[in-house]
Amino acid sequence: MVERPVVLVTGAAKRLGRAIALELAANGFDVAVHYRSSREDAQATAVDLRELGARAEVFCADLSDEAACRALASSVIEHFGRLDAVVNSASTFEHDTVASFGMAAMETHWRANTAPAVLLAQALHAHLQTVHSDPVRSGCVVNLLDQKLWNPNPDYFSYTLSKAALECATVMLAQALAPRVRVCGVAPGVTLPSGPMTQTEFVAAHRLTPLGHSSTPVDIARAVRFMIQSPAITGTTLVVDGGQHLQAQPRDVLYLAEDLKD
């Protein structure tokens, strides 16, 4: 029997991480379900993954803690006996502006949104270097970014900076870890309500694209799977946003949607 590849999905208990985990489980992957505080949601996700025929286990870690982040990869490898891919979906999204910016806010976002992806890519590379002598056998890291990077505005200042750093890290890691590990990005548009956004505001924001609709969780999950299963792609990002990045927007879509509602 062919052994299924194992993928670690951070923030897999709910929202986009859960959708990605379900898509991968349904298409031949066993899944390590990472969570920080949503234990019940993570366990429920693992149950659903097992019903799809996947091996699944939950792993708790505060990714902003370097030791805990490093231990997470080791725990996954110890449990499954292998690790083939990492999807960095977990994210901190807190509002600040240039006026309210401070080092503490920047560090909070950088430690949650940028540094863990580098550490987990490093761990995947070290694992694959150890267990596979064949350089053709490679792994993949997919980093969840944001279409805001191609359509910038100064709202959510520290969050956006942390994702910009992650996009740059995606390219640098792809260079540094080849040929053993490919590193790619997927940049969602307005996919789920976030922050203080109401459902009415989300529906309005979701329509603010050239296509008249933005991305869905299924769109993002399929894009992540495509990246993992495409051995000739590395160091680039797929923007999945209904074309939102093609039209300049002076503010975050939350505020644009509020204006449409009034």
Catalytic residues: 159
Scored b (16 or more CB within 10 A) or e, 226-259 reads ebbeeeebbeebbbbbbebbeeebeebbbebbbe
- Positive or negative torsion for Cα 37, 49, 94, 206: negative
- CA distances to 107, 110, 111 from 103, rounded to whole Å, are 6, 10, 12
* Coil/strand/helix, residue 252: coil
- Residue whose pair of structure tokens reads 């300049």 in the numeric block: 248
Query: What is the C-alpha radius of gyration for the chain, rounded to an integer number of angstroms?
Result: 18
